[in-house]
Amino acid sequence: MRLFAFVPLAVLASACAAPQKDLSTDEIGKLTKLTDVMDVQATLADPQFKKRDQQQFTDAEYATIVDVGTRLQATSLKTKDFSKGPEFDTFANKIHERAADLVNAATAKDAAAVRNTLTEMKATCKGCHSKFR
């Protein structure tokens, strides 16, 4: 009987968890709702943001960062399909530029540039969320 008491808590906890949408670049292009695009961005970016203070990265981490940056470029372009005006598009452009910077920094295996770019991206996300969320 006690097991059933925990089921509502588990359902509630899963409802509050961040959505997980790990999509390819091709799949990102087919999205039809801004919330889905934002879910993909969060799924991709949030784990990387946790690495902003990391001093070194492995080759595997750099490869992941390149992949994430490439897909974030796709999501930032896709957000413009759901534009909320020029200021929204400016945030999308900034994310697109930072995602390109992230790819370049990770390709060059420049840990400092990766950290700085992740910090800039996080600040841009927060700025957009405070204005449009």
**Non-local CB neighbours of 58 within 8 Å, separated by 6+ positions:** none
Task: Look over the chain and give the mean of its residue pLDDT values, rounded to a whole number.
Answer: 89
pLDDT band at 20 (very low <50, low <70, confident <90, very high): confident
Q: In this structure, what DSSP letter does residue 19 have?
A: P
**21-132: CATH class:** mainly alpha
pLDDT digits (tens, 9 = 90+) for 25-80: 999 999 999 999 999 999 999 999 999 999 999 999 999 999 999 999 999 999 99
Enumerate the domain spans of the chain.
21-132
For residue 118, give every residue at least 6 positions away whose Cβ sits within 8 Å of its Cβ, in sequence order, or none: 48, 49, 51, 52, 102
